[in-house]
Amino acid sequence: MTRINCFFGNHARLGLSLAMGLVVLALVWPQRTLGQEPSSKPSSDIASLHRQRIATLQQACDYVHAMYDQGQITADEMFRVDRRLIDAKLDATTAPAERIQLLQRALDTARKQERIAAEHERAGTGPALDALDAKAERLRVEIQLAQESAK
């Protein structure tokens, strides 16, 4: 008897969860079908958030470059933060010339990362996977730059 109750009990909870999901969907669906979009932040708020993100990542870049110079972190960790800063700047701008300039900087950074990873692989101080990952990143940035330049 306990086995049967347990079986139906689990299904009852599943049915209740499904019903709750349908209720939520029914409440949200009409807004979407009537062309109403959820409210969004005013563009000045978004621009402010972009500036804050860029300023924060700039501080992080300064910090990781100092740590790298002291031998406390790897080049990969430093380049990861550099790339996040460039991505934040790309997210904040729509001007084609500015985007191309940022992507060129990203490509320069990716080439440095690829060169350092290859040197570490040859010296036996870094795995081949790091060199392959760096090459893939450089190719991704080259593709993104080519696409942006073609617009």
Q: How far is CA 87 from CA 5, 23, 91, 99, in A?
A: 55, 39, 6, 10
pLDDT at 76: 87
pLDDT along the chain (151 residues), means of 10: 43 44 44 46 87 96 95 91 95 95 96 95 92 95 96 88
Q: Which of 82, 89, 77, 80 is nearest to 52 (CA)?
A: 89
pTM beyond 0.75? no
pLDDT at 3: 44
Distance CA 6, CA 67 (A): 57
Amino acid at 88: A
pLDDT at 43: 84
Q: Six-digit token pair at 109?
A: 């950074």
Q: Which of 151, 120, 118 is nearest to 134 (CA)?
A: 118
The strand ranges marked E within the chain are: none
Cβ count near 28 (within 10 Å): 11
